[in-house]
Amino acid sequence: PPQMKEEQEDLCTSLDQEDPEPPQMKEEQEGLCTSLEGELNNIDNTPMAESHCETDTGRKTFTCEVCGKAYKNSNKMKKHYRSHTNEKLFACKSCEKRFSYRAQLKVHMRTHTGEKPYSCKTCGKRFSDPAAHKRHIAIHKEEKPYSCETCGKSFCRQDNLGLHMRIHTDEKPYPCSNCGRRFSFRSYLKVHMRTHTGEKPYSCKTCGKSFSRGDTLTIHMRTHTCVKPYFCTTCGNSYTSRTSLKIHTRTHTGEKPYVCNTCGKRFSDTSMHKRHTAIHEEEKPFSCGTCGKSFCRQDKLVRHMRTHTDDKPYVSPALLSISRSILPSLVKKTPPLSHPPSSHSSEEKCV
């Protein structure tokens, strides 16, 4: 039909308006246009305003009865209507995830096959999604027209700026259904959920240790390669992660941003602050399997276990202090000489 043909032409034109794409990406776009043709023909029950408005050029517009947004043909309006119904007609046979369009399913299937047909000509990085490939290319072009009015940081995309603004507004629209903790980004929530499920999809090929986050695995790998790319400009010490360097820098600046709400003690390291807080809360999650005694910290449990194994790798500070106090009384005192030694005897000693 003429409207469908016009829809396809408009969609393909909008996809080609920016930079020319490689042949593979163009093929992806054509596939998207073709898939939309078949899908949109199957939707016949979309609510539209029966009386269409005439534009200045005499062309009719089709209005969505849900939000009032107008489109120049019915197919575009039907496509838009799925944003209200969240209708997903196409299911992945591997993981059963569903999608609104066949083209979206095609891109998703590459997460299972590992196919990455789009390559960055600058750095060689490959992508399975043409949209992700295009966003990556903008990084090399260094085009960042969207700037944050609060801190001045610039971004290549407006939606990235919108996400960044949540840092300043403290907006956290994504709550955890298990513990109620909220997050600024969906990706943060996804990673957090692994603390409840115990999922650790990232494994170290060297030692087999698993992690819930990819960046944590990257930092862990440096313990095998001994790579420490972050240097302290004050003392020259190097660290495996930017976070470790940041914590170390506070030893020079004296900054202690973490405060105990109970006693007011301040800490430069969030892990130290957390361990200290457990003392007040009397949380003792680490129990001895031999005698049942509980401890607030794992290292304290390890030290306690030595009382059962008779392992004594070092002298405790308390015992060392006692030893030093009684040591002088145990040493036999030499009586002072009644007269100084003769020069002759001293010379003989030197000889």
Q: In the numeric block, which tokens belong to residue 121?
A: 């000509």
Phi, psi for 295 (deg, rounded to 5): -140, 155
Fold of 1-9+36-115: Double Stranded RNA Binding Domain (3.30.160)
Check residue 239 and give its pLDDT: 92
Q: How far apart are CA 349 and CA 300, in angstroms?
A: 55
Q: In the numeric block, which tokens belong to residue 70?
A: 């107008």
In the chain the first and final C-alpha atoms are separated, in Å, by 119
Check residue 329 and give its pLDDT: 53
CA neighbours within 13 Å on the CB side: how many for 187?
4
How far is the CA of 158 from the CAs of 35, 130, 131, 133, 252, in angstroms? Answer: 28, 18, 15, 17, 38
By CB atoms closer than 10 A (0-12, 13-18, 19+), residue 172 is middle
Whether this prediction's pTM lies above 0.85 is answered by no
Phi, psi for 25 (deg, rounded to 5): -70, -40
Q: What is the pLDDT of residues 42-60, one digit of tens each?
A: 444 455 444 444 445 556 6
- Mean pLDDT by 10-residue block, N- to C-terminus, for the chain (351 residues)? 38 36 40 41 46 51 85 82 80 88 88 90 87 83 84 86 90 92 91 92 92 90 90 92 91 93 90 85 82 84 86 58 52 47 42 37
Check residue 135 and give its pLDDT: 82
Domain locations in the chain as residue ranges: 1-9+36-115
Residue 258 · residue 266 · CB < 8 Å: yes
Q: In the numeric block, which tokens belong to residue 163?
A: 């996400």
Q: In the numeric block, which tokens belong to residue 52?
A: 């269409």
Local structure of 62: helix, strand or coil: strand
Q: What is the pLDDT of residues 212-249, one digit of tens each?
A: 988 899 999 998 998 999 999 999 999 988 889 999 99
Residue 184 · residue 167 · CB < 8 Å: yes
**Quick one: three-class SS letters along 182-216?**
EECCHHHHHHHHHHHHCCCCEECCCCCCEECCHHH
Lookup result for tokens 């939606």: 159
- Based on C-alpha coordinates, what's the Rg of the chain? 34
Q: How far apart are CA 88 and CA 102, in angstroms?
A: 10
Q: In the numeric block, which tokens belong to residue 120?
A: 């960055």
Check residue 324 and give its pLDDT: 55
User: Of the candidates 37, 39, 31, which has an alpha carbon nearest to the alpha carbon of residue 15?
Assistant: 31
Phi, psi for 105 (deg, rounded to 5): -65, -40
Check residue 80 and give its pLDDT: 80
Q: DSSP secondary-structure letter at 155?
A: E
